[in-house]
Amino acid sequence: MPAASSQPAIDGWYATDDAGLPHLIGAKCPQCGTYVFPP
C-alpha cells in the first residue's frame, strides 16, 4: 500500500511554518471575541 500524503482540506486555510508543519489560519474579532476560519 502506498504511503499516505498530507493534503489540506481546503486550499488557503492552512499555512506552513519553517519546519513544514501546517497551522490553521484564523482570526479573532476584536469587538466580540469570536474566532473565524478563514480570517
pLDDT per position as a tens digit, 1-39: 666 666 666 677 778 889 988 888 888 999 999 998 876
- Asked, as a colleague might, if the bond just before 38 is cis with ω within 30 of 0, I would say yes
Q: Note the pLDDT of residue 21.
A: 87
Per-residue confidence (pLDDT) for residue 26, from 0 to 100:
86
Maximum separation of any 2 CA atoms in the chain, in Å: 50
Neighbours of 3 (CB within 10 A): 4
> What is the amino acid identity at position 12?
G
pTM of full prediction above 0.75: no
The rounded radius of gyration (Å) of the Cα atoms in the chain is 14
